């Protein structure tokens, strides 16, 4: 599923890019002449930055979900299906001294997108392949044509090139050539740049007119537009399915030419505006559209020409103060927009600032056969944190029913529940789990992971209170936009195994913003068994999509003498990755280590 997850990242990034495109166009329409010709181009770099940054600061999914209701339906539509506990034979046998309760779980329908994710991923790859091949073929054809270029023989034009370089303060070597293949000036080549002029320009245009053209192409060079062309080419290939981004890149190319006109005129002065515009019109008469991705073209089409002539007529050189202010404002706006828009695209690795123990990596792969997963064991007394698969231990995934620990604490703190014996009445709904079909206390609901009990409790706590508690304890990504009464495979709320272990340590030492009495109640209901002087406390969690176990948790701690060991195990697979399996793996490892 890793490849499909990568596609989801690009899909969400593409959707955000679409939003950026609309926003940028609106800014350009509102600002219009106030923005300035160059900033009409530079503002598109916000879009490029957002598409290139793999992850940023989190904002709730519901914000962007408002703009993409169709995607939200495809991705989040869930038909609750009650299923029986995992019937699979345990690959890691439970030890005879402990009688564990079943790990009950609800399945969710992943929606069209989730269910057909592999097929969509393959279609995306096929699209990338097709567009890449077409791009390569077209560029090879263009490169072969451009091989027939000739050295410029007109001496006054050769000398002009050196003067233009001095005027633009360019020290690098830039070649000048002519060819009959093209009808519009271009600059090509990142390593060995070359200005290519049509032969008719060399033969028929005045030196002054050719200077305008060369300065325009040098403006492309100074703006690194050849590199930007390649970058947008790659992004077009990756986002081939998004027409809005293709439109954005087309608009960006048009604004680039206008920005280069402004840059060229800044080297010349406003008195050259009229002859500069006349030069552009003269080239248009000889122009026929030839497009190539690795080059920049002087003329695009007649409609674009009108925009350029309009800018040239209104051109005036900006003062240094005004330019600095625009630059500062642009940088601040860019940082805000780029760093504050993330669609919560999935599991990413995070540092755990509260972890004080030394991390020691262990090879426990033999216990995780058939699963991707991680095991974290925090030995407080030794000051060490033993980790299997550190990368996975830092990746945030849905907490599933392990989040019921936080729900119980919040319910006690808000007086929705009083103690472990607080009872909720069963409403008569028949579930396939006999343990669910009766009145429940907090103790029994935690033991049998009774969803309906915690759903009622969550609704009484309220969204605002639950959000406050989740933020105050820094629980994972702190995103409850999927709702507070869903303990299945959440898409929004995510936490890493390392974060789970650190939170359990804070919980055990009464360092969370809950009263000591309420923490003691939750400690009591989390207690599973006591064997040979060691007490095991914990909670399982299972994520099911389309009736398949894809995400299993077992988190908790072992009290043994004066030592406390905090653990978190997470396993993932296309199926059979349940909380029950995560628990069995954990108990096996703890037994091998002589802890439990």
> What is the rounded radius of gyration, in angstroms, for the C-alpha atoms of the chain?
32
Vertex 484: Cα angle to 481 and 486 (nearest 5): 100
Q: How far apart are CA 35 and CA 41, in angstroms?
A: 10
Q: Which H or E run includes 542?
A: strand 534-545
Mapping DSSP onto H, E and C, the string for 116-164 reads: CHHHHHHHHHHHHHHHHHHHHHHHHHHHHHHCCCEECCCHHHHHHHHHH
Q: Give DSSP secondary structure letters for 439-450.
A: -EEHHHHHHTT-
Q: Choose among 513, 519, 421, 529: nearest CA to 468.
A: 513
Q: Please list the active-site residues.
A: 401
Q: Choose among 484, 492, 504: nearest CA to 414.
A: 484
| Residue 557 phi, psi dihedral angles, 5° rounding | -155, 160
Q: Choose among 594, 376, 411: nearest CA to 503.
A: 376
Strand partners, 440: 424
Q: How far apart are CA 220 and CA 297, in angstroms?
A: 10
Strand partners, 534: 531, 560
Q: Choose among 344, 354, 348, 468: nearest CA to 406.
A: 468
Taking phi over 0 as left and psi of -120 to 50 as alpha, with beta for the rest, 386 belongs to beta
On whether the CB atoms of residues 275 and 208 are closer than 8 A, the answer is yes
Q: How far apart are CA 403 and CA 475, in angstroms?
A: 9
Q: How far apart are CA 293 and CA 184, in angstroms?
A: 14
Q: How far apart are CA 477 and CA 487, in angstroms?
A: 16
Q: Which H or E run includes 52?
A: helix 45-52
Strand partners, 566: 378, 557
Residue 269: count other Cβ atoms within 10 Å of its Cβ. 10
Dihedral angle of Cα 46, 50, 53, 58, to the nearest 10 degrees: 120
Vertex 314: Cα angle to 310 and 317 (nearest 5): 135
- Two tokens at 241? 């399915």
């Amino acid at each position: 599923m890793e490849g499909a997850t990568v596609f989801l990242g690009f899909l969400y990034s593409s959707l955000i890019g679409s939003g950026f495109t609309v926003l940028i166009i609106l800014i350009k329409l509102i600002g219009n002449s106030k923005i300035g010709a160059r900033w009409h181009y530079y503002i598109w770099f916000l879009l490029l930055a957002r598409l290139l940054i793999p992850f940023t600061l989190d904002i709730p999914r519901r914000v962007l979900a408002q703009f993409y209701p169709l995607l939200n339906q495809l991705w989040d539509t869930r038909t609750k299906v009650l299923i029986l506990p995992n019937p699979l034979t345990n690959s890691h046998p439970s030890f005879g001294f402990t009688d564990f309760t079943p790990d009950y779980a609800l399945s969710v329908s992943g929606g069209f997108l989730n269910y057909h994710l592999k097929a969509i991923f393959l279609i995306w790859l096929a699209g990338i392949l097709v567009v890449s091949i077409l791009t390569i073929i077209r560029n090879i054809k263009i490169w072969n044509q451009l091989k027939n270029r000739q050295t410029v023989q007109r001496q006054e034009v050769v000398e002009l090139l050196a003067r233009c370089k001095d005027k633009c303060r360019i020290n690098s070597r830039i070649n000048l050539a002519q060819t009959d293949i093209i009808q519009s000036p271009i600059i090509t080549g990142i390593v060995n740049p070359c200005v290519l002029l049509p032969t008719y320009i060399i033969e028929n245009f005045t030196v002054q007119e050719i200077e305008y053209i060369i300065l325009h192409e040098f403006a492309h060079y100074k703006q690194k537009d050849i590199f930007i062309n390649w970058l947008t080419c790659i992004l077009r290939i990756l986002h081939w399915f998004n027409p809005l981004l293709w439109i954005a890149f087309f608009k960006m190319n048009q604004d680039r030419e206008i920005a280069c006109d402004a840059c060229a005129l800044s080297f010349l002065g406003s008195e050259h505006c009229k002859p500069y515009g006349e030069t552009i019109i003269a080239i248009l008469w000889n122009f026929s559209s030839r497009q190539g991705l690795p080059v920049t073209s002087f003329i695009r089409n007649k409609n674009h020409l009108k925009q350029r002539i309009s800018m040239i007529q209104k051109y005036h050189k900006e003062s240094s103060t005004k330019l600095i202010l625009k630059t500062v404002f642009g940088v601040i706006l860019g940082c805000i927009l780029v760093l504050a828009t993330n669609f919560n695209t999935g599991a990413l690795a995070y540092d755990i600032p509260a972890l004080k123990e030394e991390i020691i990596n262990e090879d426990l792969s033999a216990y995780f056969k058939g699963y991707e997963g991680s095991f974290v064991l925090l030995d407080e007394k030794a000051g060490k944190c033993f980790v299997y698969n550190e990368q996975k231990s830092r990746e945030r995934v849905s907490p599933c029913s392990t989040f019921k620990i936080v729900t119980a604490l919040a319910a006690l703190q808000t007086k929705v529940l009083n103690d472990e014996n607080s009872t909720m009445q069963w409403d008569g709904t028949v579930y396939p789990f006999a343990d669910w079909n009766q009145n429940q206390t907090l103790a029994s609901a935690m033991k049998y992971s009774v969803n309906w009990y915690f759903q009622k409790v969550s609704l009484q706590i309220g969204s605002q209170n639950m959000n406050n508690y989740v933020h105050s304890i820094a629980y994972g990504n702190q995103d409850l936009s999927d709702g507070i009464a869903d303990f299945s495979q959440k898409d929004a709320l995510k936490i890493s195994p390392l974060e789970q272990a650190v939170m359990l340590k804070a919980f055990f030492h009464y360092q969370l913003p809950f009263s000591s009495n309420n923490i003691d109640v939750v400690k009591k209901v989390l207690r599973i068994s006591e064997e040979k002087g060691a007490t095991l406390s914990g909670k399982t969690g299972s994520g099911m999509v389309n009736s398949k176990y894809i995400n299993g948790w077992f988190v908790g701690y072992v009290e043994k003498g004066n030592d406390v060991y905090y653990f978190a195990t997470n396993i993932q697979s296309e199926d059979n990755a349940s909380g029950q399996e995560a628990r069995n793996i954990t108990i096996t490892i703890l037994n091998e280590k002589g802890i439990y």
